């Protein structure tokens, strides 16, 4: 069986260095907001070619802290993609802001810039784009809209560490960008972790306080903040793994290139092939009209697949008040998508086996 993702194999090459780094933290007696976090924040900001990076507890908090820091009035409207993981939208809801869903471009499955403007009202304050599957949204078009209507651009790049758009790394493009280092991401910790990047010094400062109870100096609170800190052990582990992110993304791109060139199955829709060397290929998402039959076959043939995601946000029980929304492109995507295994530890032989197995499928 070729597993969809084997975290044991993913982390194996780094384990000796991770064990050493973790032990160093354990023995240091300093566990929260210390030098490991500082060096990771500097290194990740450099990697993203952006001025500031603030480590936080996870990707969900990263999105929520950006929204909090902007202090949008309650009931402000935030443009969000209808096709995304629920974590992109939950912070909008729990901060009493209103998510306004925009359908994806059927080709890229990312928010369709051509459908944003019709959703902008006098209450709109920001566009939250999600670089889903590892591909940057169309940031030139989105930035033009943001400028025209004086909106903030926030990116959820939880799946897009190292992706490039128009020559720029994701993380330095939007006004503020949220990252997750959940273990399965392109850059994964061995527990929960996240970060925010921005070029805006005031926003960076505010988020630095907000993640630590709103405190600038100990016991002096400027804001009603939260507890969302990236701990020293996870920061030390990320410091070990970050230098290898480029090489891992390069391996992902090589596999994506082979899938795109060699998979030939009439009914299967492949992901965009126009930016192979810019996309971060967190997932390789194909679409098939009979998903159950196709994934059943792959499973029988020893290829484990996954579905990102089976049920759209507006159809979730958690969003019962908007279950009636009609978002046909999003709904069709959720019925058809299948993620093939794509990760840096797949061997060339395994990639060949996956390609041959897919191509041999007969309805
Ligand atoms: C993983 C993910 C998140 C949430 O990150 P956590 O660290 O699990 O909170 C948010 N958005 C997207 C698109 C994700 O893939």
Give me the percent of the chain exceeding a pLDDT of 70. 100
Query: For the residues 279-283, what does the mean pLDDT come to?
Result: 98
What pLDDT digit, counting tens, does each position of 83-115 carry? 999 999 999 999 999 999 999 999 999 999 999
With b for 16 or more beta-carbon neighbours within 10 A and e for fewer, the 125-134 pattern comes to bbbbbbbbbb
What H or E segment, with its residue span, contains residue 337? strand 337-340
Q: Which of 173, 196, 340 is nearest to 271 (CA)?
A: 340
Distance in angstroms (rounded) separating the CA atoms of residues 282 and 9: 16
312 neighbors 334 (Cβ within 8 angstroms): yes
SS3 per residue for 80-107: EECCCCHHHCHHHHHCCCEEEEECECCC
- Give residue 2's pLDDT band: very low, low, confident or very high (50, 70, 90): very high
* Ligand 1 centroid from CA 131, angstroms: 11
* Ligand 1 centroid from CA 311, angstroms: 16
Distance in angstroms (rounded) separating the CA atoms of residues 183 and 241: 12
Ligand 1 probe mutation, 55, 62, 84, 88, most atoms within 8 A of CB: 88
Q: Residue 15: what pLDDT?
A: 98
- Give residue 192's pLDDT band: very low, low, confident or very high (50, 70, 90): very high
What tokens appear for 105 in the block? 């471009």
- Give residue 135's pLDDT band: very low, low, confident or very high (50, 70, 90): very high
* Ligand 1 centroid from CA 229, angstroms: 16
Using the predicted structure, report yes or no on whether residue 363 has a pLDDT greater than 90. no
283 neighbors 301 (Cβ within 8 angstroms): no
Residue 5 Cβ inside 6 Å of ligand 1? The answer reads: no
Q: Residue 243: what pLDDT?
A: 98
Distance in angstroms (rounded) separating the CA atoms of residues 248 and 350: 17
Residue 203 makes CB contacts below 8 A (sequence gap 6+) with 52, 66, 69, 70, 175, 176
Q: Which of 315, 247, 259 is nearest to 283 (CA)?
A: 259
- Give residue 218's pLDDT band: very low, low, confident or very high (50, 70, 90): confident
Query: For the residues 129-149, what does the mean pLDDT come to?
Result: 98
What tokens appear for 84 in the block? 């995304």
């Amino acid at each position: 069986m070729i597993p969809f993702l084997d975290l044991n194999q993913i982390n194996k090459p780094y384990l000796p260095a991770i064990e050493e780094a973790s032990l160093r933290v354990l023995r240091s007696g300093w566990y929260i907001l210390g030098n490991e976090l500082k060096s990771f924040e500097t290194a990740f900001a450099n990697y993203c070619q952006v001025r500031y990076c603030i480590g936080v507890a996870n990707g969900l908090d990263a999105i929520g802290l950006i929204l909090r820091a902007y202090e949008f009035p309650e009931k402000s409207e935030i443009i969000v993609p209808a096709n995304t993981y629920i974590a992109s939208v939950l912070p909008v809801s729990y901060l009493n802001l209103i998510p306004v869903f925009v359908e994806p471009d059927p080709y890229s499955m990312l928010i369709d810039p051509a459908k944003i403007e019709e959703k902008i009202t006098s209450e709109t304050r920001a566009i939250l784009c999600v670089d889903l599957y590892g591909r940057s949204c169309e940031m030139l078009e989105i930035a033009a809209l943001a400028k025209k209507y004086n909106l903030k651009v926030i990116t959820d790049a939880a799946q897009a560490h190292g992706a490039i758009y128009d020559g720029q790394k994701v993380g330095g493009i939007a006004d503020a960008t949220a990252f997750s280092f959940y273990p399965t991401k392109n850059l994964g910790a061995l527990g929960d972790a996240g970060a925010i990047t921005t070029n805006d010094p005031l926003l960076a400062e505010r988020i630095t306080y907000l993640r630590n109870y709103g405190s600038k100096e100990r016991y002096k609170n400027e804001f009603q903040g939260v507890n969302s800190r990236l701990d020293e052990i996870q920061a030390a582990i990320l410091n070990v793994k970050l230098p290898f992110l480029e090489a891992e993304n390069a391996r992902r791109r090589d596999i994506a290139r082979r899938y795109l060139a060699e998979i030939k199955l009439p009914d299967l829709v492949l992901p965009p092939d126009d930016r192979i060397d810019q996309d971060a290929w967190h997932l390789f998402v194909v679409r098939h009209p009979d998903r159950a039959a196709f994934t059943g076959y792959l499973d029988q043939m020893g290829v484990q697949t996954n579905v990102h995601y089976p049920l759209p946000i507006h159809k979730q029980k958690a969003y019962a008040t908007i279950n009636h929304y009609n978002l046909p492109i999003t709904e069709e995507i959720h019925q058809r998508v299948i993620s093939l295994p794509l990760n840096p530890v797949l061997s060339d032989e395994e990639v060949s086996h996956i390609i041959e197995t897919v191509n041999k499928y007969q309805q």
